[in-house]
Structure 1
Amino acid sequence: MGRFLSSDECCHLYALSYCRTQKKRNSMDTTRLKTAARRESSGYTRESSSKNRYDEITIYDLPDSLLLYIFSFLEPANVLTVISTCKWFYEIGNDECLWRNLTFREWGPECTKAPFVNTWLEEYKHLHCHAPVMLSEELCEHSDEIFHISFSHNGKLFTTTGKDGSVKVWEIGCPTKLKYTYNLTQDAGWNYTRYSAFNKDDTNLLVSGLRFHCGWVAWFSLVDGFTLTWTDVMTPQGMRGAWLSNHRLLYGLQSETEEAVDLCVEWEGANGSHTEDGEPQHIQEISFDVTIRIQFLNVVRRKHMMASDSLFNSVNNDYHNTNDSQNRNQMNNDYYLSKQENGYTLVFATGYCDALNQIGIKYISKSKLRSVIRQGNNDSNNRRQGEVIRGRPSIKRKQNAHCDYLIDLHGQILGMRVSMNSRYLVVNMRRWIEEPDGSDPYERPELSKNMEIRLVDLFSLKVDQMVYTGHKAVSDTDSFCFCFGDANKDFVVCGSESYQAFIWDRHSGVLLSTLDHLMAGVSAAAINPVDQEFVVSVGDDQVVRVWRSRVKQKQYLKQCATLDIDAGDMEYNKPSDQDYSTRL
C-alpha cells in the first residue's frame, strides 16, 4: 500500500461502501484481504465459487486501523467524499491522527492548530478554504510601478500610490471598481506618490510623495467626492506623515536652525494658511535632532490597543536595546507604559547615518498638545479680518536628542505597518550578515538575501518570537528596495523582490502559499481589516491583484454570474424602437 490509490481504485472503494446494507466488523488479517483482492482481480465471481468461504468478505470486514491506513493515501477531497457515504466511514474519517498527517503532508510538520480550533479537520478546512490564495481580480489602471496599499478602516475602500504620480481609491465590490483618482504629477508637479493613509472615520486621506527631490504631503477630503484640501513640503521625505486624530495631521518640517526636525500639525479648517512671517506656532518642544532619522512615522493611541487581544500571544525580548540607550530605556519603560494612556505614541524606524535598524518610540502628552492647539485656534480667531494665519504648529527640540524607547533589530528595516487594532507593528527587514563594530558611522553592513517579518507588541514593547521567512531579496546592500507587509488575526502577508507575495499562517509561521506576480517585484501586500480572506498585492508590473479565499472566491463568482444574468435580462427586456412603433 506504499502508493496513492488511482481514481478507479477510489471509485471501487466508494462502491464497496454501498455493497452491503448490514455491516460485518469481523477481524481479518492482511493475508485474507490480499487473497480477496487477488480473487477479484482474477475475475472470480460469487456465482462461480459460491461455496468458497471468502465470498462473504466485504469492505465491512476490514478493521478500522486498516481503513484508516487506506484513507491516509487519499487526497483530502476524496477523504471528505468517502466519509459522507456512511456513519462508519464518517467516524473513521474524522480521526485526529488522519487529519494531522494530511495537514502535515500539505504544509509540513511545523504546522500547529490555531488556539480557536478544536480538531485537525477544522484546522485543515481553515487553512485550505479560508486562506486568501485564489487570484480573483486584476486591476490595470496604473501606468507605472505601484508602491503602496492602504485600506480604509471600514474595509470598503483601499488606495494605491505609485510612480505614475497618481493616487487611486478603489471600491470593493463585485467587481472592484475605481471610485476616485487624482494625478498629482499633472496637477501639482509631483514626481511620484509614495504613501497614503485614511483617518479613523475614513473621511480624509493623507498622501505623501516626492517633488523636485523634496518630500511633500497632501490632504484629501472624501466627504463630498474627492477634493484636494491642502499640500505642503515635508522633511524628511521618508517620514510619510500620520494622523494624530480624525482632524489633525502630523508631518515634518526642517527647522530654521537646521539642528532639528520640527513635527508640525495641520488641523481641519486651517486650509494651509500662513502668517506674514511664515513662522509656525510652537505647541510642544520635543527632542528630535537631525542626526536621528525618522522614517515610516506612525501615531498610536494606547486607548485603542486591546490589552487582552489574541492576535499574537507569545512575545519575548530576543532583541535587546542598544548599549547607548539601554539604561535610559529601562528608566523610561515604566513611565512610558503608565503615561501613554492619555497621549500619543510616535512609532518610527530610525538609526544613525546610513543605518535604519531601530524602532523608535516617542511619547507626546495629550493634555499639553490639546491646550496649545486650543490656544492657537483662539489666537487665530482674534486676528483682525483679512490677516492670514498659519495653521501648522510645530514640535521643536528641547535639549538632547533621544527617543523614549529604542528597539534594535540588527538589520535593515524595509517597511512598517501598524495593525488596525493599533496593537502590533509589522516590520519587514533584512538581517545584517555581520554586526557592525561601529568604527565607521557611514558603514553599510552587508545584508542577507533572506527577508523576515517580525512583529512588535506596542503594548509591552517586546518583539514576538515568531519569525516569518521565505521571501527573498534580489537587490544588493547599497540599493535595497522598500517592501511592506501586513498581519491580521490568522494570516501574515508580505511582498518580495522575487516576483511573489507570500502568505503565512500567523499561529505557526508556516508558509501557506505564494501569490505570483509575472516577472515583477511585489512592493506591498495588505489584508482587508474587516475581511481577512481578502488580500491586495501590488508591484512593478503595474497591476493591482486581488486575492480571495476559496470560499470567498466561490461566492464572488456566484454573485458575478447572478449580476451577469440580471444585466442580460434587463437588456433583453429593454423595449426597442420597433416595440414603441408597434405600440403606437
Structure 2
Amino acid sequence: MYNIIMGFGNPHGKAWPASIKMDIATDEAMPEQGLIFSYLDVSSIGRCGRVCRGWTEAVHDILLWKHKFAEDFGLDVTACKLPKPTKTGGSVTWRSEYRRVVETTPCFLTDELHDHDHQVLHVSFSHDGRHFATCSKDGHVLLWDAAHPVRIRQYRDMRIFGWKYTQFSEFNADDSLLLVSGVHLGDHSITGEIAVFTVDDEFELQCRIENKPYDIFGTWFNSEYVVSGQLRWLSHDRVSESKLWLNKANQEITSEHISIVQPMFRFFNGNVCFCRMLRIAEFSVQPSVIWDGEVAERAQTGNPMSRAAAPPGQRWVGLGWREVEPDGEAGQQLMDTGEPPPPPRPPVGAAAGDEARMPGKEEKRRVKYLIFTTGSKTYTPHQIGFKRLDGFRIQTRIAPGPSLRERVEFRRRAEQLHEELRAAGVPPPEPDYNDWESVCDQFDSVDHVIDLHGHIIGMCLSPNQRYLFVNTRPWPENYVIRNPHDPPPIAREIDIHVIDVATKKQIGKSYRAHRAYTCNEGCFFLFVDVTKHFVASGAEDKHAYLWDRHHAVCLSRYPHADVVNAVAFNPADPGMMVTVSDDRTVKVWRSRLNCEQNGIDTADLPHCIKHRTRRTRPRRRAHTTAT
C-alpha cells in the first residue's frame, strides 16, 4: 500500500513532469492507484495522514490539494492560481489556501438579534472592530458591542427630530464619532439629514446637517469634517446643481471667526440626474500610474464638462500641470508625448536595495479622491464620478469680508441698476442653463466618469481604499434611452464590478450569484462590503452572498426570511460578519477560527448554506482479468 500512495505523492518535493501535471488536472490516462487520495474527502485525507510517515508525505502533495481545492469550490483546475505571496505572510500553498478558506469564512450563526421593530437597512463597523451600528425604518440607530455575546451599547430615536427613518452610518477614522444619515418625514420627501454622535458612554449628539437628496448619505472627509450635499433645480425639471459642503462635526464655541461650514464643489446635472452615494478614497500610489489611467483617457471618455485644454507651455506630469521646456532628448520626449522616459535600470550586479536609491525610481505619494454616483442619460444612477482632492484645503478661519457699510452700498447699487433696466424695458440678464457653454464657468468639473451601463445599487471601497466595488443591475445591451424619465429595464442578476481608483479601469472578473426583483421605480440599495480575502453583498432573494476575492467564486449563502439589505465585515477580524434584513433581524456570523478564539461551541449552531459545486467525475470502467 505504501508503494501505491507514493506513486501519487512526491516525497522529495521535486517538480512533477508536465505530462503528469496534465494527467492530474484532467484525470485522464493516470494510473488508477494514483487517484486513491484524490477520491477521498478532506477529513478522510487528514485521517490517512496520521497512519504513517509515508502517508503523511503523500497527503501534503501540492497537486493533490490543488485538485481538492478546485473540486470542492467549483473551479477549473487548469485555470485556478494561487494568490501572490505577501510580505508578512510568506509563501502560499494549495493546502494552506484550502485551510484559509475553510477556517476563516464566516459560517456559524452565533447571534440572532430582534431589537429593531422594522426593516433593518444598514450596518457598519468601527475600524477597531469593537462596535457596529445598525439603521432601521423604526427610526432608531443602535450601537452594539461586537464582543460575544453581542449586546446593545447605546441607541437613539431620531423620530424626535422629524426623521422618517435612519438609513446609513459610518465611523470616522479614529472611531470617536459616528455619522448617521436619515430621511425626513413626508410621503415623497427627498430631503434628509446627517447627525453625528460621540462613540462613548454618553452617545452625545454633536451636530445636525441638512442633506439633500437623502441618498447622498454623506461621508467623512477626515476625522473632524463631514461632506454633505444640497440639490437645487435650475431652469426646468431636467437641469439641477449639486452643491457639496464641508461641515465641522462639532460646533465651535470659542470664536465666531472659526469656520464650521465651507463650500466644496458645485456640479452641473443634466437629464434629471444628480450626485449620490459619496465616498472618500485616500491611498498611496506612484504618480505615473495615475497619469496612465486618468489623463490619457480623460479627453476621450471623461465627462464633457471636465475636458479642459492644457495651459500654454505646460504638460500633465505626475499629479498636476507643470511647465516643461525641451531639455535634451528626455525633455523633448516629455513635450511630444506628455510621458516621461522610463527610469534608468540599475547596473548589473547591484544589490536589491540599490534600485530604490536610483534617481529615476518613483516614490509613492498620497492621493485623495471624492467618489460619487451620477448619470447623464436618465435619472437612475449609472455612472461613477471621480474628483481629486489633493489641492483642496480646509478653511480654518472665516475671512472678515466687506463691512456693513460696504454691503449696504453694494445692495443699493444693485437695486438701482435693476430699476434702470426695468425703466428702459430691458429684462435683467438671467443665465441660460440649457446652454452649457454659457454657464460652464460657474461649475466645477468632474475629473473622470465611468459608465457602468446599469442601475447602481451599492458600492464600497477595499480596506486599502485603492479599489471600488460596485453593485449594479445591468441594462439591456445596446438599449437606446429616448426619455430621461423612462429608464431602461434592469436585469434580475446583480453584477459586482471592481474599479481601480488610481487607473480608472475595471479589473478582474465581476462577481455574480445574487439576484434582485424590483423594477426601476422600486429599486433600493443593496450594500456590499470587502475584506482582504472576501466580498459579500445583500440580495433580494432572501440571502446574503459571500465570494472569495482572489478566486472570484461564491462560497456561502446566508439565509434570512426577507430581503437582505446590507452586510459588514469586522475590520479587525474578518471572520465575523453581520447581515441585516427586512425581516427585522440582525444576524452575526462567525468563522471556525473566530469561534475557537471566543470559546464558542459550534456543535449545535445553525450553519450557512455552502455554495459549492462539486465537479462530478466520469465513472471508470472496472478492469477485468481474463481467466
TM over 0.5: yes
1:552 counterpart residue number:
594
C-alpha displacement of 1:144: 0.9
Contact kept? 2:298, 2:307, Cα under 8 Å: no
Match of 2:178 in 1: 205
For 1:217 and 1:272, the matched residues in 2 are separated by 21
C-alpha offsets along residues 302-321 of structure 1, whole Å, 9 cap, x if unaligned?
xxx1449xxxxxx999x999
What TM-score does the superposition give when structure 2 sets the normalisation length?
0.68
Amino acid at match of 2:266: I
Match of 1:451 in 2: 494
How far apart are the structure 2 equivalents of 1:321 and 1:296? 25
Give the equivalent residue in structure 2 for 1:355. Answer: 380
Answering whether residue 241 of structure 2 is matched by residue 260 of structure 1, we say yes
**Cα deviations by residue, 1:538-558 (Å, 9 ceiling, x for unpaired):** 111111111111222233344
Q: CA deviation at 1:450?
A: 0.6
- How far does residue 443 in structure 1 lie from its aligned partner after superposition? 2.5
Match of 1:230 among 202, 207, 210: 207
**Deviation, structure 1 residue 81:** 0.9
* 1:240-389 map, 5 Å: 240-254=217-231, 260-270=241-251, 283=263, 286-289=266-269, 291-301=272-282, 305-307=283-285, 325=303, 328=306, 337-338=319-320, 344-352=368-376, 353-364=378-389, 366=391, 369-370=393-394, 373-376=395-398
* Secondary structure of 1:178 counterpart: strand
Change (3 A) 1:68 1:285: closer
Q: Shift of residue 136 of structure 1?
A: 2.1
Instruction: Please give the per-residue CA displacement for 1:428-456, whole angstroms capped at 9, x wherever unaligned.
Output: 11111233324322221111111011111
Gaps of 5+ in 1: 1-16, 18-22, 29-63, 309-314, 384-395, 562-584
Residue from 239, 245, 249 that aligns with 2:216: 239
* Alignment partner of 1:103 is 2:81: no
- Cα deviation, residue 467, structure 1: 0.8
Whole-angstrom distance in 1 between the partners of 2:37 and 2:92: 21
Matched, 1:150 2:124: yes
Decide whether aligned partners of structure 1 residues 397 and 328 sit closer, same or farther in structure 2, where only a CA change above 3 A counts.
closer
Q: Contact 1:488 / 1:532 at 8 angstroms: preserved in 2?
A: yes
Specify which structure has the higher proportion of helix.
Answer: 1
Q: Secondary structure at the match of 2:598?
A: helix
- In 1, Cα distance between equivalents of 2:589 and 2:195: 30
1:413-442 CA deviation, whole Å, 9 max, x = no partner? 000112332222121111112333243222
SS of the residue aligned with 1:72? helix
Tell me the equivalent position of 1:514: 557
8 Å CA contact 1:230, 1:271 repeated in 2: no
Structure 2 CA distance, aligned partners of 1:217 and 1:397? 30
How far is the alpha carbon of 1:266 from its aligned partner? 1.8
Q: What SS class does the counterpart of residue 287 from structure 1 fall into?
A: strand
Indicate the percent of aligned positions where both proteins have the same amino acid: 28
What is the match of residue 452 of structure 2? 409
Cα deviations by residue, 1:475-518 (Å, 9 ceiling, x for unpaired): 2343222101111111111111111111111111011111111x
Residue 115 of structure 2, aligned match among 116, 129, 141: 141
Q: Distance between the aligned counterparts of 2:103 and 2:247, measured in 1? A: 45
Shift of the 161–360 alpha-carbon distance from structure 1 to 2, 3 Å rule, reads: same
Residue 528 and residue 280 in structure 1: after superposition, are their counterparts in 2 closer, same or farther (change >3 A)?
closer
- Once the two structures are superposed, residues 153-181 of structure 1 have per-residue CA deviations (whole angstroms, 9 ceiling, x without a partner) of 11211111111111111111121221111
Cα distance 1:398–1:327, how it changes in 2: closer, same or farther (>3 A)? closer
1:176 corresponding residue in structure 2: 150
Q: 1:120-172 deviations in whole A, cap 9, x for unaligned?
A: 22221111122122222212211111111111111211111111111111111
**Inter-partner Cα distance in structure 2 for 1:508 and 1:69:** 25
Matched, 1:113 2:88: no
Q: 2:105 aligns with which of 107, 118, 131?
A: 131
Which secondary structure does the structure 2 equivalent of 1:498 belong to?
Answer: coil
Residues in 2 aligned to 1:456 and 1:336: alpha-carbon distance in whole angstroms: 21
Q: How does 1:470-549 map to 2 (within 5 A)?
A: 470-517=513-560, 519-549=561-591
Do the aligned partners of 1:230 and 1:272 also contact (CA within 8 Å) in 2? Answer: no
Amino acid paired to 1:345: Y
Aligned with 1:422 (options 465, 473, 476) = 465
Residue 166, structure 1, aligned to residue 140, structure 2: yes
> Do the aligned residues in 1 keep the contact of 2:4 with 2:34 (CA within 8 Å)?
no
Contact 2:278 2:370 in 1 (8 A): yes
> Which AA in structure 2 matches 1:362?
K
User: Partners of 1:299 and 1:449 in 2: how far apart?
Assistant: 29
The separation in 2 between residues aligned to 1:533 and 1:166, in whole angstroms, is: 27
Matches of 1:26 and 1:480, distance apart in 2: 57
1:341 Cα deviation from its structure 2 partner: 6.2
Task: Say whether the 8 Å CA contact 2:388–2:447 is kept in structure 1.
Answer: yes
What RMSD, in angstroms, separates the aligned Cα atoms of the two structures? 3.8
Deviations 1:509-543 (A, max 9, x none): 011111111x2111111222221211111111111
Measured against aligned partners, the alpha-carbon deviations of 1:158-210 in whole angstroms (never above 9, x if no partner) come to 1111111111111111212211111112x222110011111111111111111
For the structure 1 residues 272 and 334, does the alpha-carbon distance in structure 2 shift closer, same or farther, using more than 3 Å as the test?
A: farther
Q: Which runs of 5+ in 2 are unaligned?
A: 8-29, 86-90, 287-292, 322-363, 405-438, 604-627
Contact 1:424 1:457 in 2 (8 A): yes
Whether the 8 Å CA contact 2:265–2:444 is kept in 1: the answer is no
Q: Quick one: which amino acid aligns to residue 240 of structure 1?
A: F
Q: Distance in 1 between matches of 2:3 and 2:390?
A: 76
Tell which structure's C-alpha radius of gyration is larger: 1
Where in structure 2 are the equivalents of 1:14-53 lying within 5 Å? none
Segment of structure 1 superposing worse, 354-363 or 264-273: 264-273
Residue 79 in structure 1 maps to residue 45 in structure 2? yes
Q: C-alpha displacement at 1:273, in angstroms? A: 13
CA shift, 1:260, in A, is 2.7
What is the DSSP-based 3-state SS (H/G/I as helix, E as strand, rest coil) of the residue aligned with 1:447?
A: coil
Q: 2:371 & 2:317 partners in 1: Cα distance?
A: 16
Cα distance in 2 between the residues matched to 1:183 and 1:500: 28
Q: Partners in 1 of 2:367 and 2:56 — Cα distance?
A: 56
CA gap of 1:280–1:289, structure 2 versus 1, over 3 A, is farther
CA distance in 1: counterparts of 2:473 and 2:254, whole angstroms? 42
1:294 partner letter:
C
- How many residue pairs get aligned? The number is 473
Question: TM-score of the superposition, structure 1-length normalised?
Answer: 0.72
Give the superposition deviation at 1:470.
0.5
Q: CA deviation at 1:66?
A: 5.4
Q: Which amino acid aligns with 1:78?
A: S
